[in-house]
Structure 1
Amino acid sequence: MSFSGVYDIAASALQAQTSRMNTVASNLANAGSVAASEKEAYRAIKPVFATLYQQAQTGELQGAKVNIAGVLQSDRVPERRHQPDHPLADNDGYVYHAGVNVMEEMADMMSASRSFESAVEVIGRVNSMQQGLLNLGQR
C-alpha cells in the first residue's frame, strides 16, 4: 500500500469521526428541548458507517475506508412530563422532553474524540516515515 493510500484511509476516518462528533453536538444541544407532542419532540441522531473495501487490480485486498452511509433518528421515546403551566403543554397538561441520554452522548463523544486522535496519530506517523525516507535519500 502506498503512503497516499494510508492518508486516504486516515482521512476517511477523520471525516467519519467528525460526522459523529457533529451528531453528538446536535444531540447535546437539543437535550433540554421540549415539544407539545411526542411526534414533535427531538430524537437523538446517529451516523451510520459502512466499510468500503479497496482492491488492487490483482484482486487482493489493499485496505478499507469508512463511508458515512447516512444518519438515523433514535427510536427512544421522548419523556412525557405533566407540566400544565408550561406554554407548550398539550390539552392534558403534558410536555415531551427530548429523547436524548446525555451520559450516552458524552461517552460517544469521548469515543469519537479518541478515534479522531488515533487517525491524526496515523497521519503523523506516516508523515514521519516519509521524512525519514527523504533524509535517507539525501545521504
Structure 2
Amino acid sequence: MSFLSALNISGSALTAQKFRMDIISQNIANSTTTKTADGGPYKRRLVVLEEQKNASFKNVLADKMQNSIVGGVRVSEVVEDTTPFTAVYNPKHPDANEDGYVMMPNVNTTEEMLDLMSASTAYDANITALNALKAMATSALNIGK
C-alpha cells in the first residue's frame, strides 16, 4: 500500500466518523422534540457506512497488478430508526393526546452517548494512524541526510 493510499483511507475514515458524530449530536439535541416539520416527534437518525473503492481504470489496474485492495470508508446513507416512539404521560403538555400521553422521540441518550464514544474512539484511532504514517514518512525522508 502506498503512502498516499494510507492517507486517503485514514482521511476518509476521519470524514465519515465526524459526520457520524454530527448526526449523533443532532439526535441528542432533539431527544425531547415532540413536534417536527412533519408533525410528529423527532425520529432518530443512523449513519450507514460502507467501503469506498476507487473505481478509476488506473486504480483498478494498479490494484490487480499489486494484488492489493485500496479503499476507505464513506457514508452510504442516513436512515431513520424504526424503533417505536415512547408514550409519556403528561396531560399538561401542549402535544398531549386526549388520554394525556405525549409521544416522545425514539432517542435513548445513553445509547447515543455510547455511539458517540465509539465514533470518537474510531476518530482518535485514525488520528493515531495518521500520526504514525507522518512519523514513518519523516523517518524515510531523514534517511537521505
Out of 113, 116, 129, which is 2:120 matched to? Answer: 113
| Percentage of matched positions with identical amino acids | 29
Higher strand fraction (1 or 2): 1
The match for 1:78 among 73, 77, 85 is 85
The residue that corresponds to 1:49 in the other structure is 49
**Which residue matches 2:22?**
22
- Contact preservation (8 Å) 1:30, 1:42: yes
Residue number in structure 1 paired with 2:107: 100
Mapped contact 1:82–1:95 kept (Cα < 8 A) = yes
Report deviation, 1:61: 2.7
Give the Cα–Cα distance (whole angstroms) in 2 for the partners of residues 62 and 126 of structure 1. 18
In 2, Cα distance between equivalents of 1:25 and 1:98: 14
CA displacement at 1:29 relative to structure 2: 0.6
Structure 2: segments with no counterpart, 5+ residues: none
Between the aligned partners of 1:103 and 1:94, the Cα distance in structure 2 is 23
Q: Which amino acid aligns with 2:79?
A: L
CA drift of 1:56 comes to 4.3
- Which of 113, 119, 142 lines up with 1:135 in the alignment? 142
Task: Answer with 5-14 or 63-72: which moved more.
Answer: 63-72
RMSD value, Cα: 1.9
Partner of 2:95: 88
TM-score by length of 1: 0.89
Normalised by the length of structure 2, the TM-score is 0.86
Q: Report how far residue 92 of structure 1 moved.
A: 3.4
SS of 1:87's partner is coil
Structure 1: which 5+ runs fail to align?
none
